[in-house]
Amino acid sequence: MNKEKKTSYLVLIRHGQSEWNEQNLFTGWKNPPLTEKGIKEAENAGEKIKSLQIIFSHYFTSALIRAQETGEIILNILQQKDLIKIKDQNLNERDYGDLSGLNKDEARKEWGEDQIHIWRRSYDTPPPGGESLKDTSMRVLPYFETEIKPLVNNGNNVLVCAHGNSLRSLIMSLENISSEEIVNVEIGTGEPILYSFNSVDSFKKEIL
């Protein structure tokens, strides 16, 4: 008689609002901290996650301050001190290259609305000196497959605090979303996404 697999949980969350989000600047691998609003978003996310009463074994975040700050706020609310913490730049936001630090409206004036839209929303066309979503996926997904997915498949509960495009890369793989569809997927700052796995390839998704 086969035992039913224990449900395991994967929670993905984009960092709270950063100072450059607030100023409408391309951020990428630059390292601004959270705003007061971003701190509040992280606190609210922490309370939502705490209400699930999930005991996490592992916490993953990027090498960037805004994700790390968000994660630390959440962990303080969860009061789970024994979990394993891992920081890795493979989970960083996509690198916006020459656009990094520029105001998005000013960039549209310089390169044109259509070109900026292509750089921001196409799957495989990077901005000058930067990464496309495809490029981002090529570092995020191998890391996920080797470091995170096996933990979830083995019944562990995992929290990942990262960025809009690194998380879109994960969601694209998890939900088998096409490269045409993923460019329209939006992930709000401080908005937890819960995946409940009852088997390796079967899950339920919930936006908290």
What positions carry a catalytic annotation?
Answer: 15, 93
Contacts of 169 (CB under 8 A, 6+ apart): 133, 136, 137, 140, 141
Measured between alpha carbons, how far is 10 from 67 in angstroms, rounded to an integer?
17
Measured between alpha carbons, how far is 119 from 171 in angstroms, rounded to an integer?
20
- With beta carbons less than 8 A apart as the criterion, state whether 33 and 18 touch: yes
> Residue 156: phi, psi to the nearest 5?
-85, 150
- With beta carbons less than 8 A apart as the criterion, state whether 60 and 75 touch: no
Which is nearest to 189 in space by CA: 33, 38, 28?
38
Taking the CA atoms of residue 39, residue 42, residue 47 and residue 48 in that order, the dihedral angle to the nearest 10 degrees is 150
Reading the block at residue 97, the tokens are 């290259």
Residue 90, CB-side half-sphere exposure with 13 Å CA sphere: 17
Measured between alpha carbons, how far is 86 from 67 in angstroms, rounded to an integer?
12
